[in-house]
Amino acid sequence: MPTSSPRRRGVRLPGRPVSAQTTDIGAKIYGLASRLYPICRSITGKGVRDTLAIVREHIELAIHEVPSGTAVFDWTVPDEWNIRDAYIKDPEGRRVVDFQRHNLHVMSYSTPVRARMSLEQLRPYLHHDPARPDAIPYRTSYYRRNWGFCLSQRQADSLAEAQYEVVIDSELAPGSLTYGELYVAGRTDREILIFTHVCHPSLANDNVSGIALATLFGAAVAAAPGRHSVRMVFAPGTIGCITWLAQNEQRLGKIDHGLVIGLLGDRGPLTYKRSQRGDAPVDRVAQYVVQGAGAKHRVIDFHPYGYDERQLCSPGFNLPVGRLTRSPNEGYPEYHSSGDDLNLIDPAALRESYDTLARIVHILDADEAYRNLSPKCEPQLGKRGLYRSTGGGGRTEMDDALLWVLNQSDGARSLLQIAQRAGIGFEIIEQAALDLERVGLLARVH
Ligand code: ZN
383-397: average pLDDT: 78
DSSP characters over 79-132: PEEEEEEEEEE-TTS-EEEETTT-GGGB-BTPPPEEEEEEHHHHGGGEE--TTS
Residue 7, pLDDT > 80, answer no
Determine the distance separating the centroid of ligand 1 and the alpha carbon of 200, expressed in angstroms: 7
Q: In what order do the strands lie in the sheet with 95-98?
A: 95-98, 80-89, 163-173, 113-118
On whether the CB atoms of residues 224 and 186 are closer than 8 A, the answer is no
Cα(340) to centroid(ligand 1), Å: 10
Tell me how far the alpha carbon of residue 247 lies from the centroid of ligand 1, in angstroms: 24
**Least confidently predicted of 3-7, 18-22, 369-373, 432-436:** 3-7
Residue positions counted in the chain: 446
How far apart are the CA of 319 and the centre of ligand 1, in A? 22
How far, in Å, from the CA of 119 to the mean position of ligand 1? 30
Position 296 scores a pLDDT of 84
Could you give the percent of the chain with pLDDT greater than 70? 93
Q: How many A from CA of 65 to the centre of ligand 1? A: 22
Q: In what order do the strands lie in the sheet with 298-300?
A: 62-67, 176-184, 229-235, 191-197, 255-261, 321-325, 271-273, 298-300
Residue 269: is its pLDDT beyond 50?
Answer: yes
- What does the mean pLDDT of the chain come to? 93
Is it the case that residue 18 has pLDDT exceeding 60? no
- Residue 345 alpha carbon to ligand 1 centre in Å: 15
**Distance from the CA of 413 to the center of ligand 1, in angstroms?**
40
Indicate the pairing of strand 126-127 with strand 71-72: unpaired
Looking at the predicted structure, is the pLDDT value of residue 391 above 90?
no
Give residue 26 CA to ligand 1 midpoint distance, Å. 22
CA–centroid distance, residue 326 to ligand 1 (Å): 13
Q: How far apart are CA 166 and CA 106, in angstroms?
A: 12
Q: For the chain, count helices (H), then strands (E).
A: 13, 19
Residue-level pLDDT at 437:
98
Query: Which one is predicted more confidently, 10 or 266?
Result: 266
CA of 156 to the centre of ligand 1 (A): 24
Distance (angstroms) between ligand 1 centre and the Cα of 32 equals 19
Predicted confidence band at 2 (pLDDT cuts at 50, 70, 90)? very low
- CA of 330 relative to ligand 1 center, distance in Å: 8
Q: How far is the CA of 47 from the centre of ligand 1 (A)?
A: 16
What's the confidence (pLDDT) of residue 94?
A: 97
> What digits encode the pLDDT tens for the residues 155-200?
999 999 999 999 999 999 999 999 999 999 999 999 999 999 999 9
pLDDT, position 13: 40
Residue 446, pLDDT score: 77
- What would the mean pLDDT of 275-298 be, rounded to a whole number? 92
Of 103, 99, 106, 101, which Cα lies nearest the Cα of 127? 106
Dist. CA 182 → ligand 1 center (Å): 23
Q: Are 310 and 238 in contact (CB under 8 A)?
A: yes
Whole-number Cα distances in Å, 167 to 98, 100, 140, 201: 10, 12, 17, 19
Least confident of 136-150, 226-240, 284-298: 284-298
Q: What is the mean pLDDT of residues 93-102?
A: 98
- The rounded Å distance from CA 207 to ligand 1 centre is 7
For the cut 60, the answer to whether the pLDDT of residue 135 exceeds it is yes
Instruction: Please tell me the distance between residue 237's alpha carbon and the centre of ligand 1 in angstroms.
Output: 8
What's the gap in Å between 108 CA and the centre of ligand 1?
Answer: 13
Interval 120-139 mean pLDDT: 98
What value does the mean pLDDT take over residues 132-158?
97
Q: Is the predicted pLDDT of residue 299 greater than 50, yes or no? A: yes
3-state DSSP call for residue 194?
A: strand
pLDDT attached to residue 1: 33
Determine if the peptide bond prior to 207 is cis (ω within 30°). yes
75 Cα–ligand 1 center, Å: 20
Least confidently predicted of 143-152, 273-282, 384-393, 403-412 = 384-393
Q: Residue 4 above 60 pLDDT?
A: no
Tell me how far the alpha carbon of residue 374 lies from the centroid of ligand 1, in angstroms: 54
pLDDT at 329 over 80: no
